[in-house]
Amino acid sequence: MPLTSFMEKRVLDFICGGASAAAPGGRWLNWATGSPDDSGDSVGPFSSRRSVTFSPANSPAGSVANSVAVSGATASAAATVRGWNLYESSVGGNRLAYGTLTVTLGCKSGNDNPAFSAAGLKMTIT
């Protein structure tokens, strides 16, 4: 489960108590045309971030998934979606986590709306 350095510190302070640790105020997703990593999000030409609602985490499985489909971002140019990023706000803010898709998505300009179905975005502690 790739967390950004920002979120890693928050999680460690949550666990260990060495500093205050506020939970993210929201979770917003955008699409990446590269493979995002801790140094960059490789954001593609999509209209806006989309709100993500997660279900309660499963225990002892140690996983969590989105409870509602995430969709609605329109491609402003043809692009191939290869990954995703999770942010704490709809604009600006800190990036929380990122990942690459198991299958890339080819999007046409102005028509296609990439989406995660409910339970399509899953994060696991490994």
Torsion over CA: 112, 110, 79, 82 (sign): negative
CA distances from 80 to 31, 43, 75 (A): 10, 11, 10
Residues in 4-43 that interact with another protein by CB under 8 A: 5-19, 21, 23-24, 26-27, 38
Q: Is 3:9 a contact under the CB 8 Å cutoff?
A: no
For another protein, what does the binding mask look like between residues 52 and 81, x meaning CB under 8 A?
Answer: -xxxxxxxx-xxx--x--------------
* β-bridge pairing 79-87 and 50-51: unpaired
The interface region with another protein, picked from 1-9, 28-36, 77-85, 112-120 by CB under 8 A, is: 1-9
Residues near another protein, by CB under 8 A? 3, 5-19, 21, 23-24, 26-27, 38, 53-60, 62-64, 67, 96-97, 123, 125-126
